[in-house]
Amino acid sequence: MVSASYARLITLEEFIIQGQNNFKGATGELSQLLRDIALAAKIISNEVNKAGITNILGLDGSTNVQGEMVKRLDIFSNDQMRHALSRSGNVCMIISEENDEPVRTRSSQGKYVVAMDPLDGSSNIDVNVSIGTIFSVFSRKTDRTQAPDITDALQAGTDQIAAGFVLYGSSTTLVYTTGMGVSVFTLDPGLGEFFLSERSVRIPAFGPAYSLNEGHINQCSRAVQQYVKQCRQPDKISGRPQQCRYIGSMVSDVYRTLLNGGIFMYPETTALPKGKLRLLYECYPMAFIVEQAGGKAVDCRNTRILDVPLTQIHQRSSIYLGSPTNMDTLTALF
Ligand code: P6P
């Protein structure tokens, strides 16, 4: 007998079915893809939450395409996501931060292409800071009778049909959109079930926090330096300056910005003139989600992130995203 409190909750499965029923012509393939991602999220969450007591911590000595030392949880997460995405036969190609080239699955006729950062923020693993999985879903461009190719990988941000992230924090949270608003689910680890915790998330029009790595501030543009200087000034009404909040894990910084409002920035710097974050599997999905919640996301040219052309799968981009009021104040300085 499910207790009364659970009886009122909506599971991810129920929500997916509702979404599918509301979408004429839905074949259930995207629904199955979302289920597969949720399964991988549960498996990764279980491993992340016990990483402190297993031998999975530490370096395995390999490096990824970014040239960063890779921690074993990164590899584990990449494997779990690839296994999960290959289960349904709906995914023909996977692009991952952990793989130099796009990976064709065994399902060459699959309808979808998934781009992902399987474990973003992994440099925070050993200090128990929240980390996450970020994913983006596209429909393939090539005909299903032929093998997928690079044109299926190099698509526009506006071509995304779904995007989301999983935050492995004090609770495991799944946030995703299929273009019909942003929904948030929280995992009950005891039941192994994601329950709907918020539907149709709306980012506040304004938020009192700015988020960037201020250690880089002297390498940032004059506009960013001026914006941060303005944030530090006492507000005319509240008499207080804005808060600086920076966790150094994109999924955490974006999730806080989504719920509380404010602005997250990873600007271009003299050391990283194209920015640090990856356009395809970090900036595109986060921009899709923030826009679906009523926010804005642009690059250093004030170009909408979703309109920034993708020419290489691991292409970097600057990114500024958040509440409309905060974003308008910043972009007026560009
Ligand atoms: P920095 C984590 O390594 C990451 O890829 C993002 O999750 C995060 O926003 C950014 O890099 C942090 O970079 O240079 O501030 O350590």
Contact 248, 213 (CB under 8 A): yes
CA–CA distance, 90 with 163 (Å, rounded to integer): 16
pLDDT tens digits, one per residue of 83-122: 999 988 999 999 999 999 999 999 999 999 999 999 999 8
CA–CA distance, 55 with 66 (Å, rounded to integer): 24
Domains of the chain listed by start with CATH number: 4-198 (3.30.540.10), 209-331 (3.40.190.80)
Residue 7, pLDDT > 80, answer no
CA–CA distance, 262 with 204 (Å, rounded to integer): 8
One-letter amino acid at 122 equals S
Which atom of ligand 1 lies closest to the CA of 249? 7
pLDDT band at 238 (very low <50, low <70, confident <90, very high): confident
pTM comes to 0.93
Among 133, 214, 276, say which to mutate for ligand 1: greatest number of ligand atoms within 8 Å of CB: 276
pLDDT at position 71: 57
Residue 14, pLDDT > 80, answer yes
pLDDT tens digits, one per residue of 252-287: 999 999 999 999 999 999 999 999 999 999 999 999
pLDDT tens digits, one per residue of 286-334: 999 999 999 999 999 999 999 999 999 999 999 999 999 999 999 999 9
CA–CA distance, 223 with 93 (Å, rounded to integer): 39
CA–CA distance, 248 with 257 (Å, rounded to integer): 13
* Better-predicted residue by pLDDT, 27 or 109: 109
**For ligand 1, atom 2, which residue shows the shortest CA distance?**
121
123 lines ligand 1 (CB under 6 A): yes
pLDDT tens digits, one per residue of 56-80: 555 555 666 666 655 588 899 999 9
pLDDT band at 143 (very low <50, low <70, confident <90, very high): very high
**Per-chain mean pLDDT for the chain:** 92
Q: How many CA atoms lie within 13 A of 282 on its CB side?
A: 29
DSSP H stretches of helix in 111-165: 150-153
**For ligand 1, atom 14, which residue shows the shortest CA distance?**
213
Cα(155) to ligand 1 centroid in Å equals 24
pLDDT at position 163: 98
Contact 174, 41 (CB under 8 A): yes
Residue corresponding to tokens 């974003």: 327
